[in-house]
Chains A and B, each alone.
Chain A
């Protein structure tokens, strides 16, 4: 049945009790290792879930030196108050809305820009194509901290000379995050588009489509799954970003990634509320990532395996 499994053949050829014992031990070891990995992966998730159902009192009064008060995995009193009151001390639902607006905006703008650029790279030969692709790879590796300060000052300047406010606005962050997500999005879309047979859109052009018409009438409908994957990637990226969000947002535009830190202040540590908020913040990412896992993983893998 399994011609590709060399171990099985080898074992079948030496069916002694000793070989069988080794085989059983190997299986047991394998499953033990898998369980160990899963435990390590899940501990923070489980601790987060458990904390979100505990009362604040239980967490605050926990004391590892006293066996009666030691922190427990199962809440002593199970409560949903942390979810009901999640918005009371920190305006996390406002931040959630801000994050939604910024992330969806990023998704749309990034897709608009990267579909056009991806189409150009997949279907046209032009001077400077090679250097442009190289520049995409370089910008992708450039960490934000290296241009954060001049970028911040640029916002101050634009406001002074044109009156356009970009700091503490949705459009400022949408523009910023879109260009962060651009290199990966363009390269991904290029490969999605390149996988569509050229004959299909050439036929459309013979039938009277312009090259741009062929993009909108033929290529985009065919590449819809890939486009969705790239859009979700841009969404998740802007949902999770911390550094620029902490400096370029204010009261009106703060995102969840930064807002979640407000549960801990110098006066008070509201761990229970924070854990509930953490779950609320994680769920959209978890759902979206599950939808596109295959595409993103393929993209990452092909991007790095090919070098």
Chain B
């Protein structure tokens, strides 16, 4: 009996132990698979919205996809590189306009990024000083950044109106112009959009640069001024190395965002901004959704991706953003 009871006990212990081991190993397996299950929904969303369309866009760009074949892309004639050649062909009106739009956006980007950065830095330096009401002012300067794009550019469109806008009214009161200037049609369109974009964009630069400025140790500046460094020397040799990493990130973000600027052009100038303010985004959207040449639009998008990738790689190679003064 006793012997038997002992055997039973042993069997029981064994089975319990093996169950515990099983549970533990199951728990371990669960801990291994769980993170994948946790990121799976987000990953699926990203694949559906970003990855599939980007890959598919390349296939579409080799086809002459139009409104009749949109629901069956295999029926669209395969045209190889014809869409690309047309988009880059200087003897074709669409090619000319596409290349012109790329030139326009480069011009737009260089001007708005440079001026936006300079204003942002100047204001950040200002807000880093001590003065009464500094906290409130630091909040208020974010107002342009907060205003929704469609609202901000609608208001600027109102401001730039020839007959009822305050820009002309202001210039007139200064006696600089005699006749109202037309801002939103023709040659001055790009200038108007640039002014509005700079107004909207500099607070973001200021925000990041101010954070950079706050990371400068006060003792360093103090030492420098005791050693007789003037304002410029203190900025160049003490402050600048601390805001250089922010500057690099800011530049990269601004290049990527501005290269595909759409909202300001669409809201201020409508679907067809005209040759002086045509940018790749507005042109691609019109090609695809007004002219219903989806294949052509996709080809232009691919060209833009390639251009951006090249710019980003050159940028990352030469400037190595993310490396800071400590590295």
Cβ B266 vs Cβ A305 within 8 A:
no
A206 to chain B, nearest CB (A): 13
Question: How far, in whole Å, are A146 and B312 apart by their CA atoms in the complex?
Answer: 15
Question: How far, in whole Å, are A289 and B131 apart by their CA atoms in the complex?
Answer: 25
Contact A281 to B215, CB < 8 A, known contacts A147-B50, A153-B60: no
Q: CB-CB contacts of B23-51 with A at 8 A, as 1s and 0s?
A: 00000001110111011011101101110
**Stretch among B3-11, B13-21, B185-193, B246-254 lining the A interface:** B246-254
B144 at the interface (CB under 8 A from A): yes
Name the residue among A51, A60, A240, A306 with the largest chain B CB count within 10 angstroms: A240
Q: For A257, give its contact among B46, B140, B150, B211 (CB under 8 Å).
A: B150
A184 at the interface (CB under 8 A from B): no
Question: How far, in whole Å, are A2 and B55 apart by their CA atoms in the complex?
Answer: 59
Cβ B131 vs Cβ A150 within 8 A:
no
Cβ B71 vs Cβ A160 within 8 A:
yes
B154 at the interface (CB under 8 A from A): yes
1-50 of chain A: CB within 8 A of chain B:
4-6, 10, 27, 30-31, 33-34, 37-38, 40-45, 47-48
Cβ B38 vs Cβ A120 within 8 A:
yes
Residues in B neighbouring A45, C-beta threshold 8 A: 143, 147
Cβ A71 vs Cβ B143 within 8 A:
no
Cβ A307 vs Cβ B321 within 8 A:
yes
Cβ B304 vs Cβ A146 within 8 A:
yes
Q: CB-CB contacts of B79-115 with A at 8 A, as 1s and 0s?
A: 0000000000000000000000000000000000000
Residues in B neighbouring A304, C-beta threshold 8 A: 208, 246, 249-250, 253
Cβ A47 vs Cβ B158 within 8 A:
yes
Interface of A is mostly: helix
Q: CB-CB contacts of A147-179 with B at 8 A, as 1s and 0s?
A: 111111110110010000000000000011011
Q: CB-CB contacts of A214-234 with B at 8 A, as 1s and 0s?
A: 000000000000000000000
Cβ B158 vs Cβ A271 within 8 A:
yes
Cβ A305 vs Cβ B246 within 8 A:
yes
Cβ B324 vs Cβ A307 within 8 A:
yes
B1 to chain A, nearest CB (A): 39
Cβ A282 vs Cβ B46 within 8 A:
no
B182 at the interface (CB under 8 A from A): no
263-305 of chain A: CB within 8 A of chain B:
264, 271, 274-275, 278, 281-282, 285-286, 289, 293, 297, 300-301, 304-305
Cβ B152 vs Cβ A44 within 8 A:
yes
Question: How far, in whole Å, are A112 and B57 apart by their CA atoms in the complex?
Answer: 29
B56 at the interface (CB under 8 A from A): yes
Given contacts A143-B256, A147-B54, A149-B288, 8 further A-B contacts (CB under 8 A): A44-B156, A116-B42, A132-B43, A153-B56, A153-B73, A175-B48, A179-B45, A240-B150
The 3 closest A-B pairs by CB, nearest first: A307-B322, A120-B38, A143-B260
Name B's A-contacting residues (CB within 8 A). 30-32, 34-36, 38-39, 41-43, 45-46, 48-50, 52-54, 56-57, 60, 65, 70-71, 73, 123, 126, 129-131, 137, 139-144, 146-152, 154-159, 161, 163-166, 168-169, 172, 179-180, 199, 203, 207-208, 211-212, 215, 218, 221-222, 225, 245-246, 248-250, 253, 256-257, 259-260, 262-263, 266-267, 280-281, 284-285, 288-289, 294, 297-298, 301, 304-305, 308, 321-324
- A sample of 11 cross-chain residue pairs with beta-carbon separation below 8 angstroms, ordered by A number, consists of A30-B131, A41-B203, A64-B172, A116-B39, A119-B38, A146-B57, A146-B305, A150-B56, A243-B285, A271-B158, A307-B324
